[in-house]
Amino acid sequence: MPPRPGHSGKTTLRVTTDDTATALGSGDVEVLATPRLVALCEQAAVQSLEGQLPDGDTSVGLAVDIKHLAPTPIGAEVQAEARLDSVDGRKLTFTLKVVQDENEVARGRHVRVIVNREQFLGRAGVG
């Protein structure tokens, strides 16, 4: 049985120097980097699918559309939430929201695809 819309996952991050735009090469400011923000959102989506995929299957990211609306300084904590909105065959579409305290830091959409782990790794030449 495929995952059902409505499930959500949440992940939290306390921003460190390793999470900044300077550290990741996506800018020259000491605030949460957009690539790290995207990874946090993907983690939330993966977390929302725990225990919902058939044995041997996993999900992989296909697309991310995110608006990074506010800077987050080192030491601050952000929480990302990914809510599964729709399932179309193997395609899963999530709504993303990231907050710091009560303030919106980012929002967007994320699409993942359910794949057979062995087949996927075989196509990648791994394993």
Instruction: Considering the domain delimited by 8-123, tell me its CATH architecture.
Output: Roll (3.10)
Task: Determine the pLDDT at residue 126.
Answer: 85
pTM: 0.94
- Specify whether the CB–CB gap between 56 and 75 falls below 8 A: no
Which pairing describes strands 77-88 and 57-68: parallel, antiparallel, or unpaired?
Answer: unpaired
Domain boundaries defined on the chain? 8-123
pLDDT digits (tens, 9 = 90+) for 17-43: 999 999 999 999 999 999 999 999 999
